[in-house]
Structure formats: C-alpha cells, structure tokens
C-alpha cells in the first residue's frame, strides 16, 4: 500500500490504503504505535510533518485579588498548528500565584 497524497494526523481509521494480501495499511500518525503503517509511511508522511509553532507569551494579567492571595494568568496563540503527526502544541495558558497589595489593603489588615 502507498500513502501518496494520504497522510493524516492523529488516529484516523479512514486514512488507509489497500495493503498486501487484502489487508489495510494505515497512513495516520497513530499507525506508528499500532505497527500497521503502509511501507512508504515514513518516507511520505513523516517528511511532511509540521510541528506546532506558538507565538510569544502575552503580558500577565493583574492579580485576581485586591488584597491577599490571588492568581495571575497569561496566554499565547498558536501561529502554525501541527500537521501530519508533527509535534503537538505546548501549553497555551499559564497561571501563577500573586499577592494583591491595593492601597486599601492596609486598613483591611
């Protein structure tokens, strides 16, 4: 079987080609785990793999609490999504703790 023009990311049971002895071979990136890839899978599909690319982190948000323990968050966007079994995207959001120190907090303490 041949994967020409037939490479699919992830697990996709519809992404197959007729193989030897009337057995299907697969052209999805999951076939590497199951061991049922078509003979030309690596030459055809892995070369076409595109890993995820993300942009820079945005700024941290303000603290969610004016006084005391809270959290801040920031995010980034996917600029190029993964294709043909390329590396998946890393985390797009981060969160960290913070301590709100609004001027009114002094009287609340």
Query: Rounded to the nearest 5°, which phi and psi values hold at 33?
Result: -75, -35
Q: Which positions ≥6 away from 74 have C-beta within 8 Å?
A: 57, 58, 59, 60, 61, 93, 94
Quick one: pLDDT at residue 6?
81
Quick one: pLDDT at residue 109?
44
Quick one: pLDDT at residue 4?
80
The pLDDT tens digits for 12-36 are 889 988 887 778 899 988 898 999 9
CATH topology of domain 57-82+92-105: TSP-1 type 1 repeat (2.20.100)
Domain locations along the chain: 1-48, 57-82+92-105
Per DSSP, the three-state class of 31 is helix
The pLDDT tens digits for 1-15 are 788 878 887 888 899
The pLDDT tens digits for 50-71 are 789 999 999 999 999 999 899 9
């Amino acid at each position: 079987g041949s994967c020409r023009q037939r490479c699919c990311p992830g697990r996709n049971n519809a992404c197959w080609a007729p193989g030897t002895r009337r057995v299907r071979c697969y052209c999805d990136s999951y076939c590497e785990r199951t061991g049922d890839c078509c003979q030309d899978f690596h030459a055809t599909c892995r070369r076409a793999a595109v890993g995820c690319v993300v942009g820079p982190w945005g700024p941290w948000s303000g603290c969610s609490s004016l006084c005391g323990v809270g959290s801040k968050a920031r995010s980034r966007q996917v600029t190029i999504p993964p294709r043909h079994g390329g590396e998946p995207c890393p985390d797009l959001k981060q969160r960290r703790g913070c301590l709100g120190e609004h001027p009114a907090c002094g009287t609340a303490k």
